[in-house]
Amino acid sequence: MGDTVISVRGLRTQFGAQVVHDGLDLDVTRGEILGVVGGSGTGKSVLLRTIVGLNAAREGTIEVLGSSVPARSKAERERLEGRIGVMFQDGALFSSLTVRENVEVPLRRIAGLAPKTQSELADLKISMSGLPYYAGDKYPSELSGGMRKRAGLARALALDPEIVFLDEPTAGLDPIGAAEFDRLIHGLSRSLGLTVFLVTHDLDTLYAVCDRVAVLAEKRVLVTGTLDQMGRVDHPWVRQYFDGPRARAARAPKEG
Amino acid sequence: MTKSLPQIETRDEDGTQVLRLLGAVTVEGLPGLDRAFRDVSAAQPVRIEFGEVSRVDTAGAHLVARLRARLEAEGQRVTLEGASAQTAALIDTVAAAEPVAETEPVPERGIRTRIAGIGARVAGGAAFAAELLAMLGLVLSRLARVLVRPREFRLTALVHHCEAVGVQAVPIVALMAFLIGIVLAFQGATQLRQFGAEVFVVDLIAISILRELGVLLTSIIVAGRTASAFTAAIGSMKMREEIDAMRTLGLDPAMMLFVPRVLALLLMLPILALIANAAGIVGGGLMAWLSLGISPPMFATRLVESTDVANYVIGIVKAPVFAVIIGVVGCNAGMRVGGNAESLGRQTSSAVVTAIFAVIVADAVFSVLFAEIGI
């Protein structure tokens, strides 16, 4: 595996008196798909938001692509912008813009890009995310949940980031849609060389796409490793999670 | 990962155009490449060399794929040379994913569509008026049901809204009326002094505030404060499907949301108008004392002698009507909010404008009515 693109050391996040993470360490290497799992309320989404700089950490250091988060200078922040993409849980599309305009928003940063090329690129990203052509002219409120997620992914990928953060990409999708989304993420990651930081509850997604899994529990990353290694971890929560009936069902097609 | 802009070198080699790309063919360098690629003619075969390329992203791949598609459509051969397996795969992936534009029908432009547009707007206005009437009917029918079945009524919500609509509006309403009283006394005194009729400033203040300004200005302030708050609260509930959730749980949104709000306005607006009347007269009296030397006892005597109590009744009788208008307009605008944040903003501002406009229209109707019956 290649170099480390995300490195978190001794992270502590806190809301008032409630400590979410304490002494959390995590490394993500280039080109891998890392799945972050954990029970509800263990701070998976908070971890994602902290790494992309939306939450301030109380203690600890975060480095993304060699820049510290939060950025110490304007130049440093600009260096990072465009190199990471975030897809929020429900797409977080701007509701007053059409899908195409949503995808064009990050492209506007590129000075001198002809409007025609800009909308061509947006159409390409929309199509690569598996949306039909007519979806570009629609407003987010006119799309189904699954289509909104795809549009959110298209916007996150607009500038060809090196890392994408996905927050529960398959939550609320039907099994067919979720499986398609898994294939999409896997295919895009491999063909574009993307690093993917994936927060999920979906065991099928974990088994279908993730190279490595990080388990959040007890306010830190309890264990990281491949899915095979997870089966040998001796911790009650991890065992219950990866050895439960649903995990066995998700694993079955891979082994069979 | 340098952000060096890509370079492009063009040369001619045995009748083949050779485009040699250097550097990172990524979205940052796209504008320059885009222009260079548009100038490539289809007169000769083209070879694109990738030997010196450090990185290609989908935007760069898109340009290459587009150039290839364009030249091949004109019957020219394009070869890619020196591309790594990953780059070649990326270009193929992008070429396969290129969307096929679907032509959409261009809307017809002309006198017919304009007239149709005017007609649609008129019909929309009529439909909106009908909607407001329907909302009024809904609220009235639910109010009637409260009389029959008082247990369905939500007293806590009513008290809460009374506080938000009434108590919290007292300072702004009182201050506004106090200042209006001062302005009226000052302007009236300047004019009436010319005729030596300073003492009539008391009649001027009392009649104008009690009969018109107190209740009208209070209603305008309440329309700005409360109609927008109703729209925002109900509209955001509509946006997050809370109202649909209520319906599936067998709760009546009209009973839960509209009745407490409209009833709170109905109870509070007359009280606010009364406070505005008092504050306006105090302001006017103060100014009359300071600038005209009409002492407070003299002001009070003149007020009681010359101002008929009918003026007060005429003013305050309008308050419940204005309250219902503001409440109904606010709730209705909330229910018109669609699925996005923009429509919430649009409906909120439209609620304020509609409420103020409707209050002023109703006030004009009252004026004509009272003039006709001669009071």
- Tally the residues of chain A: 256
Name which of B260, B265, B274, B273 is nearest B326 in CA terms. Answer: B265
Q: Which residues contact residue B121 at a Cβ distance below 8 angstroms, ignoring those fewer than 6 apart?
A: none
Nearest CA in chain A to B341: A95
Q: pLDDT of B161-171, one tens digit each?
A: 999 999 999 99
- What angle, 0 to 180 degrees and rounded to 10, lies between the N-to-C axes of helices B201-208 and B170-193? 150
The token duo for A14 is: 């806190």
ipTM score assigned to the predicted complex: 0.73
Do A12 and A77 lie in one domain? The reply is yes
In terms of domains, do A37 and A55 share one?
yes
Q: Are residues A1 and A73 in the same domain?
A: yes
Tell me how many domains chain A contains.
2
Evaluate whether residue A72 is within a structural domain. Answer: yes
Residue B244 in contact with partner chain A when CB distance is under 8 A: no
The answer to whether residues A155 and A185 belong to one domain is no
Tell me, yes or no, whether A165 lies in a domain. no
In terms of residue numbers, what domain contains A209?
A: 1-83+179-256
User: Is the domain of A78 the same as that of A98?
Assistant: no
B62 Cα to chain A: minimum distance (Å) = 7
Per CB-CB distance under 8 Å, the chain A contacts of B101 are 123, 133
Same domain, A243 and A121: no
Given a cut of 80, whether residue B340 has pLDDT beyond it is no
Question: B150 — contact with chain A (CB < 8 Å)?
Answer: no
- Tell me, yes or no, whether A230 and A114 share the same domain: no
What domains are defined for chain B? 7-97 (3.30.750.24), 127-373 (no CATH)
Residue A73 inside a domain? The answer is: yes
Residue A169 lies in a domain: no
**Residue A43 covered by a domain:** yes
* Residue A174 resides in a domain: no
The reply to whether A1 and A77 lie within a common domain is yes
Of B62, B101, B102, the CB nearest to A121: B62
Contact A164, A83 (CB under 8 A): no
What was the pLDDT predicted at A67?
81
- Give the domain CATH number at A235: 3.40.50.300
The answer to whether residue A213 sits within a structural domain is yes
Question: pLDDT tier at B277 (50, 70, 90 boundaries)?
Answer: very high
Q: Do B27 and A160 touch (CB under 8 A)?
A: yes
Is there a single domain that holds both residue A109 and residue A146? yes
Q: Which amino acid is present at A6?
A: I
What is the pLDDT tens value at each position of chain A, 256 positions in all?
A: 468 888 888 888 888 888 888 888 888 888 889 999 888 878 888 888 888 888 888 888 888 888 887 777 777 777 777 788 888 887 788 877 888 888 888 888 777 778 888 888 888 888 888 888 888 888 888 888 888 888 888 888 888 888 889 888 888 778 888 888 888 888 888 877 888 998 988 888 888 888 888 888 888 888 888 888 887 888 888 888 887 777 777 777 655 4
Q: In Å, how far is A188's CA from the nearest CA of chain B?
A: 9
The domain boundary, picked from A133, A160, A187, lies at A160
Q: State the average pLDDT for chain B.
A: 88
Q: Tens digits of per-residue pLDDT, B291-308?
A: 888 899 999 999 998 888
Query: Residue A193's closest CA among A163, A169, A165?
Result: A163
DSSP A189-250: HHHHT-EEEEE---HHHHHHH-SEEEEEETTEEEEEE-HHHHTT---HHHHHHHHSHHHHHH
Q: Answer left, alpha or beta for residue B62, where phi above 0 means left and psi between -120 and 50 means alpha.
A: alpha
What pLDDT is recorded for position A4?
Answer: 85
Facing B340 at nearest CB: one of A95, A111, A113 = A95
List the 36-65 stretch of B: residues with Cβ below 8 A of A.
Answer: 57-59, 62
Question: Per-residue pLDDT for B3 more than 60?
Answer: no
pTM exceeds cut of 0.80: no
Question: How far is residue B26's CA from residue B5's CA, in Å, rounded to a whole number?
Answer: 8
Query: Is B66's Cβ below 8 Å from some Cβ in A?
Result: yes
Q: Say whether both A105 and A232 belong to one domain.
A: no
